[in-house]
Structures are given as C-alpha cells and as structure tokens.
Homo-oligomer: A and B are copies of this chain.
Amino acid sequence: MLRSFTSYHPGLLTDLYHPDAAYVSWRTGRNGMTTFDLFARRAPFDGAYMLVAGIETALEFVREFHYDDEDLRFLSQIRDYDPRFLEELRAFRFSGEILAMPEGSIAFPHEPIMRVTAPFQEALLLEAGLLQAINLATLIATKSARITHAARGRRIAEFALRRAQDPYVVARASYIGGATSTSFLGAAFRFRLLATGSIPHALVQLFDSEEEAFLAVAESYNRYTLLLDTYDARRAIHTAVAVARRAQQELGHSLAAVRLDSGDFVEGSKYVRQVLDDAGLREVRILVSGDMDEFRIAELLDAGAPIDAFGVGTSLGAGAGSVEHAIEGGALGGVYKEVWYEEGGLGEPKIKVAGEKSTWPGRKEVYRIGAFERDWIGLENEPPPPGA
C-alpha cells in the first residue's frame, strides 16, 4: 500500500481489456471521434439524487495519463502487442474534450455527470480511472449529504479513518457532502479541512482514576472535550463538571463538549444535558458517536435526544447501506457508455437497447430549470428549454 505513494502509473489505472480493445482498434484503424457519457442508472441508497464528487481527481488522472518505459515493458511482457502499438502508447496524451458537472452539484439518474469526447482509443483507456474516481467520491459525498440532512443543522464530524477504505477520498467527499470536520489529520493537512476530536478510552485508562485523566486533559488544552463512557457515563458527567469548574477557575480552560460513545444515547444525552445545565454549563455541547448513520441520527433526534453534534465513522468510511432498512451501499454503479461515434466525417448516435440497461444516444446537455423544478436533458444541437 505504501508503495502506491512512491510510484504512480496512471497508464496502468485501467483494466486489461481497455488496452486490449485499444489494440484491436489500432490494428483495424477504427479510431474515430467518440463520445462517452459517464452516468449512474440509479442513485445510491435508494435515494433520488447523487452529490457529485471526484471530478477534480478524475481530471488530474486524465492530465497525468501516459505510459512510461516501465509501463510499456510490462505491457509487452503480458501481451504480444505489435511494438508499433506500444510506441503509439508512448506518445499518448489526452487530446479530447471533457465536460462535467461541477464538484458538489446534484445529479439525477441518467444525467451525464461527465461527457468525454475523444478518439476512441483515448476515451476508452480512461474508462476505469474515471469511474473509480467518480464512483467512490460521489458515493461518499451522497452518503454525507444524507447524514447531514438527517442531522437537521447539527454538526457532523467525520471519524472514519480506521474503517475508511480510502481515507483521503472519504474525508474530502464527506466535507463536500456537508460534514464540518474530520478526525483524520492527513486529510485535514492536505485539503485544509477542520480537524476535530476528543480523547480515546485508552487515555482515560492510562490514569489511576477518571478524575485524574479528566484533570490532565483539562490542564493540557484551553478548550477540550471529555469522553464520558469509559466506565460509567452517569458518574463521569459529574466528574467532568467538577473538573470543568476547577479548570475554568484555576486556568481559564473551557470544557467545549462531552462525548458519549456507547450506551442508550437518548436517556444518556438527556441525563448529561440536565447535569450540565444544572451546573450552569449550558454552552457545553454533547457529541455522540458509535454506529451513526442517517437513520440512527433521525431516530435519536425524533426521540428528543439533546445532541449537538454527531461523530460518524463506518457509514461514511464505506459509503455503507443499511441491512436494517434493506438499502444497498458500498458502491455507486456508475457506468461509461458510448453514445456517439464519428468516422470519415459521418457521425452517428450510439444506442444500446437492453431493457433498463439501455443507453440514451447522442451528445447531451443537462439544463436545470428553477430551483430543482425540473432537469431537462437535450441533445447538444437542440435549443435550450424555455426558462433554462
């Protein structure tokens, strides 16, 4: 895995059948201008929409795409390609045109998120890299948008690193979807995101008593968060209040938030809120973490839990569905389909007729009318709809 950081071969970010198909195209001389649409037939999580992300990564990939000597040596070892084809790959740089929805926009099923127009071989060789970038980031951004919506204005902290399949993409796409911070320092550094966190159970256990641990934290930071559930949250909140008062008086250090990571969050947060309020600590926020997703957050808020912020890990890290709600997750089924082919000056729309897997032919434009009043997909040479 670390090796992926020391060498990067964008030309090999492809499935074998792409250079194989490019080779057949090269041998037969069929390499006309082609348009591929990248779109999803269904929104993830049984939802209506996608929140587009990954465009920036996808375009960086296109800019970097090339074959170096090592790549070509590898290709010549695994396939008996004509050496002249490999020489053409060596000269390969993307020469086409890409249109895409902006990062962070809403897309609906069948709307082209990206449209690639280029000679067939170029357009084809990019397929897997474009899909990988956009499928993953859009999946996570959409999940984050759903979670943010469920939280009704409360903050979402992304806590996914240890379960995230690609932690950098997860942190960035979660932010695009509405998360306000990440626990992952590498992503905070790289993308200039807000980093937040509390303390781990292991730190509380490091001390002989919870009070000693809380005091050590309160002395270390002028604003700090305490974790309540290492032993017994209902006892811990009283210790936290005592420590907070002392740290405030002696050091001017403030308790910013307390965190519950297990137990009954509805009763627990109500109890904790009451204790904090009774102590005059109304500004101290309650953060809850542990198996959070959009359904769980909505349930907790519906039950009147006085929670101010949610830490969300696994469900963002994997773009998870919900077995309980019979909702698939983990992957966005974005596809990349040929819709136009042009050779010898003659262009023709391409269509695949296969039931619900059919494609819509031709080079398209998507128009958004009003504030999501409706979207209009037209051919590029058709006039825009009225009101667009």
Give 1 or 0 for each of A51-74: 1 = CB within 8 Å of chain B CB. Answer: 000100100110010000001001
Query: What is the CB-to-nearest-CB distance from A220 to chain B, in angstroms, rounded to a whole number?
Result: 5
Measured between alpha carbons, how far is A237 from B254 in the docked complex, in Å?
74
Nearest CB in chain B to that of A325: its residue: B323
B residues less than 8 Å from A6 (CB atoms): 8
Residues of B with C-beta under 8 A to A354: 262
Stoichiometry, copies per complex: 2
Of A95-103, A181-189, A268-276, A298-306, the one contacting chain B is: A181-189
Residue A319 at the chain B interface, CB threshold 8 Å: yes
Partner of A314, one of B161, B169, B202, B331: B331
Query: Is A88's CB within 8 Å of the partner chain B?
Result: no
User: What CA separation (Å) do A135 and B317 show in the bound complex?
Assistant: 12
Chain B minimum-CB-distance residue to A139: B165
The yes or no answer to A2 lying at the interface (CB within 8 A) is yes
Interface contacts beyond A4-B190, A5-B5, A7-B190: sample of 14 additional A-B pairs, CB < 8 Å, sorted by A: A1-B57, A1-B168, A12-B188, A13-B185, A15-B185, A15-B197, A28-B207, A75-B185, A79-B221, A80-B221, A124-B203, A205-B350, A323-B326, A330-B330
Asked whether A282 is an interface residue with its Cβ less than 8 Å from the other chain, the reply is: no
Q: Decide if B220 touches A164 in the complex (CB within 8 Å).
A: no
Closest to A75 in B: B185
Q: Is A106 an interface residue (CB 8 A)?
A: no
Interface residue? A277 (CB, 8 A): no
CB <8 Å contact, B220 and A24: yes
The answer to whether B205 and A1 have CB atoms under 8 Å apart is no
Question: Would B5 and A352 count as touching, CB distance under 8 A?
Answer: no
- Say whether A21 contacts B135, CB under 8 Å: no
A and B contact pairs by CB, cutoff 8 A, 9 listed: A9-B189, A15-B161, A20-B220, A27-B216, A30-B207, A127-B200, A166-B166, A201-B352, A330-B330
User: Which residues 296-350 in A have Cβ within 8 Å of B in the complex?
Assistant: 314, 317-321, 323, 326-334, 337-338, 341, 350
The answer on a CB contact under 8 Å between A216 and B135 is no
The 6 closest A-B pairs by CB, nearest first: A165-B165, A318-B330, A16-B197, A17-B197, A131-B162, A1-B57
Q: Establish whether residues B1 and A133, one from each chain, have CB atoms under 8 Å apart when the complex forms.
A: yes
Q: How large is the interface on A (under 10, 10 to 19, 20 to 34, 35 or more residues)?
A: 35 or more
Q: B78 contacts A15, CB within 8 Å?
A: no
Kindly state whether residue A76 has any CB partner on chain B within 8 Å: no
Check B57–A2 contact: CB distance below 8 A. yes
**What separation, in Å, do the CA atoms of A7 and B165 have in the docked complex?**
19
Chain B residue nearest to A159 in the complex (CB): B15
> What CA separation (Å) do A230 and B230 show in the bound complex?
58
Provided the pairs A185-B19, A323-B321 are in contact, do residues A2 and B200 lie with their beta carbons within 8 angstroms? no
Residues of B within 8 A of A78 (CB): 188, 195
Residues in chain B near residue A230, CB distance under 8 A = 352
A255 within 8 A of B: no
Cα distance A203–B350 in the bound complex, in angstroms: 12
B residues near A166, Cβ cutoff 8 Å: 1, 165-166
For the complex, is A156 an interface residue (Cβ under 8 Å from B)? no
Q: Are A61 and B2 in contact (CB under 8 A)?
A: yes
Residue A41 interfacial (CB < 8 Å): no
Q: Do the beta carbons of B338 and A202 come within 8 Å of each other?
A: yes
Bound Cα distance from A317 to B15, whole angstroms: 14
